[in-house]
Structure formats: C-alpha cells, structure tokens
Amino acid sequence: MSYLDEVFGLAGKVAIVTGGGRGIGQTVAIGLAKAGAEVVVIARSNADETISKITSEGGKCYFVRADVTKESEVDAALAEIMQKSGRIDVVFNNAGICKHQSTFEASVADWREVIDTNLTGEYIMARAAAKIMVENGIHGSIINMASMSGTIANIPQWQCSYNASKAGVIHMTRSLALEWAEYGIRVNSLSPGYIATPMSVDTPQELKDAWMPLIPMHRMGTPEELVPAVLYLASSASGYTTGSDIIVDGAYTCF
C-alpha cells in the first residue's frame, strides 16, 4: 500500500452521500468510491446514473430513498444501511436547494423550505449518523455542505434564505465538532464558490456575466475540484481537523 493510499484511502469504509444523484453529489460519490469506499447514495429520487458510473468501474454503490427533512425517513434509511453494510464511517451531507428571490417576493414558506432542506436536513442526518457512530465505537467523519454564501452575501442575485442557511451550517458544524470531539467524530464543512454543474445551465447568463469579474481566477470551479477536499476530510489525512470550514472559491471571499 502506498503512502497516499494509506493516508487518503477509504478501503473498508462506508460513505453516505446525500443528494448524490447528480452534480456535485454525483462527482463526490464517484471520488469516494475511487478511494475505496462503499458508497450509499441517499436521495428523494433515484440515482441510477451515479450507481452505474461507480459499479461499471468496479466500485461499490447502492441507493436508499429518503427525504433528509423527515427524521423518520432518515432513521429508516440509516437502519437499512447498517443492516446491509454494518457500519457508517463518512457522511457527505450534500442535499440542498437555492431560491433566487428578493425578500419581499419570497414567502415565509419559501424561507422554510430552504432552511428545512439546507440546515435542518443536514442537522437531522448528522445527528442520526453520529448516534450510530457512537453506539458502534466508530470514529467517523461528517462533512456538511456549506457555501461561500455562508461567509459573504452574493450579488447581484438575492438569496437571503440560502445565505442564512449556509451560515447556519458553518456554525452548526463548529458546534457539533466541539460536542462530538470526545467520541472521535470529526465534523467539518465544505464551502464551494461558483461551481459549474448541470444545474448551472439554468442560471441566467446575466448572472454569470456579473460573477466573473468578481472571481479572481476568472472562471467557475468544477465539481472535480471539490473532490480532493472531501477526500482529505473523509480520510485519516484530516485526523486532527475538526470544526473547520474549507472554502474552495477561486479567492472570491478574499476581498
């Protein structure tokens, strides 16, 4: 076994990826599988493409349906995973949504939908997984998907609910890291900047044109450029890293 395999490898580990059916979640799921993990995709809809991409290259992956905002569904999903795989080592808490709306146009229901998915959903999943890790003596890693929007307020689009949810994720991460350190459970967050995914195809061009001058690297990132950060946080390479937020944004938040 090489040094990189020993430090960054995930052989024998079981990794959950929520919202892993497309975009960043799919790319990260593939990366975790390539590092040796058995990957479980949790999503509200199927993840056939992700599973096919992983298993066609000899990786291990299966799908469990659940809505992360519903505690009973999350508990049932994790019970199924424990029955099939026997352990949970890594959680990439990725499921999320965004609504570009001015605060006057958005309804309270819109606010609650974003907060429930992005913040409460991550809390429900992290809490349920951590309970299982503690009960089974597993020193696991929970990686919460935040955003540079948890550190800055984006322009020119208005997205108060999204920004607030991601700021909450970052501080929730710090709080859980402190609370669960004694159990050997590490909790960190990942804060991407603007990432080119299939979803970004639907983003109005005028928004992209406004973003580019504000990105010092003058381009959007790719999902593949997030994978190394996730592998670091998921593996023993980050054994002394907890409560951290890793920003991958092309230097957007530096000014």
Catalytic one of 13, 165, 166, 235:
166
Based on the residue annotation, tell me whether 189 is a catalytic residue of this protein: no
Could you tell me which of 6, 3, 61 has the C-alpha nearest to residue 31?
A: 61
- DSSP code of 94? -
Based on the residue annotation, tell me whether 70 is a catalytic residue of this protein: no
Q: How many CB atoms lie within 10 A of CB 84?
A: 12
Q: In the Cβ-directed half-sphere of 197, how many Cα atoms lie within 13 Å?
A: 18
Catalytic one of 141, 147, 149, 189:
147
Which H/E stretch holds residue 38? strand 38-43
Tokens standing for 218? 């003058």
The CA distance from 141 to 88, in Å, is 9
Dump the DSSP string for 158-169: -BHHHHHHHHHH
Catalytic one of 162, 194, 232, 252:
162
First-to-last alpha carbon distance for the chain, in angstroms, is 42
Contact 151, 168 (CB under 8 A): no
Active site residues: 147, 162, 166
